[in-house]
Amino acid sequence: MALDIDLRHTAVLSMDFENDIVHPEGALKEFGFAKMVADNNVLEKTGQLLVAARGSGVLVIHVSVKFRVGYPERPPTPCSGRDSTPPVRCWKAPGAHRDPRPGGPAAK
């Protein structure tokens, strides 16, 4: 069954590609997300999808969740960062977003 896609009203959303989720040492490593990402080759497959989408003229939107100072949107948890600095176990690494484009930050 072929899809009829109107490119004027279509976008691919790329989200949750943050080190705390996809990196083996990320804050959410206990939940197994990074293992699932690695086991299913999610980063490479997503990169291929984004290249194909761009090549077809589909809008690609990278979603990065942000919170206001003090994180009032988040419930209190060990990683909520309600104090001035997040706890050590809530590791945040530079380059938290992988850019699958050739020559993008992740390729360096």
β-partners of residue 54 are none
The chain-wide mean pLDDT, for the chain, equals: 75
Looking up tokens 């761009």 gives: 54
The residues that bridge with 59 in the sheet, in sequence order, are 11
Whether the model clears a pTM of 0.85, i.e. scores above it, the answer is no
pLDDT of 90? 52
Tokens coding 91: 């590791």
**Residue 5 confidence (pLDDT):** 81
The full DSSP string for 17-79 is --HHHHSTTSTTGGGTHHHHHHHTTHHHHHHHHHHHHHHTT-EEEEE-----TT-TTSPP-TT
Using one digit for the tens of pLDDT, what is the confidence trace for 55-78?
988 999 998 777 677 767 766 665
Query: Tokens standing for 66?
Result: 């942000």
